[in-house]
């Protein structure tokens, strides 16, 4: 639940009481990330499974919501107009998230095709806060109709998938375990499926993937996943199937995480729709949310 504090004098202050308490050391910062003092190399990717409880000004509510919509609309434009070159897509989206202060994934280094950045902690905290609050604001605006929900889910899933690429595969595996309850097992050298079919598993991964593969692929590089959790990979014939399980190369887990994110967000939007009547009783909120979901009223500055 987002609490809105309307103040004519200080409309941009977020929960001023809590900020004072934090300065006094009375409470921990909701967005504080671990790492060395003043800096962190942590990259942050969210399933948005916890709603923000900050108190924000009505003007910031509108500003941060529109800012996210500008990012999402630009992402739609990038995907509709660009080629299949994922590196160019990553570079363009990275510029967007930095411009709008939503960058939680680091700086995309086009020359090395990697996400690299040593964050200043306060900058990362601000980006996480903006990212989380703006996402939930846009949920309120885009849960009203099936068409709006479909558009929002598509663009948010693209943003989520882009950010997943900043994480190492073991981090994605950890996210799936913690956020989705998916306790997948890595194969072992003495597993019977590996003993009997190691060459077949390696073969499919090598010749069906668009990504480079290590020459010496180990058993631990593959994850045993229930067939239903890897439908997109099965359709592309990127996995070895046996007795209801797909054997997924660890770097392809981002496809499974993307599918889980899409399903969770779709369900959450349907749930939010049930409460839209209560939310729209506030005339100030209803007018802003309706305007946000009308793309003709927003300056997307697409060139």
What domains can you pick out in the chain, each with its CATH number?
A: 32-167+255-293 (1.20.930.80), 180-251 (no CATH)
Q: Report phi then psi at 30, rounded to 5.
A: -60, -30
Predicted confidence band of residue 211 (pLDDT cuts 50, 70, 90): low
pLDDT for residue 135: 96
Integer-rounded Cα Rg, in Å, for the chain is: 21
Predicted confidence band of residue 208 (pLDDT cuts 50, 70, 90): low
What is the pTM assigned to this prediction? 0.82
Residue 287: both structure tokens together? 């007018």
Return mean pLDDT, the chain: 81
Residue with the bigger pLDDT between 6 and 137: it is 137
Residue with the bigger pLDDT between 105 and 122: it is 105
Cα gap 155→139, rounded to integer Å: 12
Spatial CA neighbour of 235 closest among 201, 208, 202: 208
Residue with the bigger pLDDT between 33 and 216: it is 216
Say which residues have a Cβ less than 8 Å from residue 163's Cβ, sequence separation at least 6. 43, 45, 104, 105
Cα gap 65→81, rounded to integer Å: 24
Residue 232: both structure tokens together? 């997109």
Q: How many CB atoms lie within 10 A of CB 48?
A: 17
Taking residues 267-280, report their average pLDDT. Answer: 90
Residue with the bigger pLDDT between 295 and 262: it is 262
Residue with the bigger pLDDT between 143 and 5: it is 143
pLDDT for residue 5: 44
pLDDT of residue 209 exceeding 60: no
pLDDT of residue 86 exceeding 90: no
Strand intervals (E) in the chain: 3-4, 39-40, 55-56, 107-109, 114-116, 119-120, 185-186, 222-226, 240-242, 245-249
pLDDT for residue 51: 85
Each residue of 163-174: pLDDT tens digit? 998 888 889 999
Each residue of 174-197: pLDDT tens digit? 999 999 999 999 999 999 999 999
Return the sign of the alpha-carbon dihedral for residues 8, 4, 119, 94.
negative
Average the pLDDT over each of 35-49, 96-110, 219-233, 250-264 and give the range with the smallest value: 35-49
**Contact yes or no for 142/269 (Cβ under 8 A):** yes
pLDDT of residue 301 exceeding 80: no
Instruction: Reduce the DSSP state of residue 77 to 3 states and report it.
Output: helix
Q: What is the dihedral of CA 170, 173, 179, 184, to 10 degrees?
A: -150
Cα gap 202→133, rounded to integer Å: 43
pLDDT for residue 71: 95
pLDDT of residue 141 exceeding 60: yes
Compute the C-alpha angle 220/225/163, nearest 5°: 80
**Contact yes or no for 226/245 (Cβ under 8 A):** yes
Spatial CA neighbour of 61 closest among 255, 302, 288: 288
């Amino acid at each position: 639940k987002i609490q809105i504090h309307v103040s004519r004098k200080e409309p941009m202050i977020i929960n001023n009481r809590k900020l004072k308490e934090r300065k006094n050391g009375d409470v921990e910062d909701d967005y504080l990330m671990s790492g060395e003092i003043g800096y962190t190399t942590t990259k942050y990717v969210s399933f948005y499974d916890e709603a923000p409880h900050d108190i924000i000004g009505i003007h910031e509510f509108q500003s941060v919501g529109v800012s996210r919509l500008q990012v999402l609309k630009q992402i739609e434009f990038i995907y509709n107009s660009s080629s299949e070159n994922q590196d160019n897509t990553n570079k363009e989206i990275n510029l967007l998230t930095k411009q709008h202060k939503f960058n939680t994934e680091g700086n995309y280094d086009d020359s090395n095709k990697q996400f690299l950045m040593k964050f200043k902690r306060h900058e990362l905290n601000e980006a996480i806060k903006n990212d989380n609050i703006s996402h939930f604001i846009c949920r309120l605006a885009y849960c009203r109709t099936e068409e709006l929900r479909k558009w929002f889910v598509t663009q948010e899933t693209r943003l989520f998938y882009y950010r997943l690429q900043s994480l190492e595969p073991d981090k994605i595996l950890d996210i799936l375990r913690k956020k989705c309850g998916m306790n997948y097992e890595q194969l072992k050298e003495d597993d019977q499926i590996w003993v009997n079919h190691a060459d077949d598993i390696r073969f499919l991964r090598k010749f069906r993937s668009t990504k480079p593969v290590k020459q010496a692929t180990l058993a631990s590089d593959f994850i045993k996943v229930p067939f239903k959790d890897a439908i997109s990979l099965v359709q592309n014939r990127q996995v070895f199937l046996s007795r209801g399980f797909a054997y997924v190369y660890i770097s392809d887990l981002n496809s499974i995480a993307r599918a889980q994110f899409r399903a969770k967000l779709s369900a959450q939007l349907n749930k939010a729709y049930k409460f839209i009547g209560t939310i729209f009783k506030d005339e100030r909120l209803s007018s802003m949310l309706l305007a946000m979901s009308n793309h003709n009223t927003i300056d997307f500055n697409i060139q």
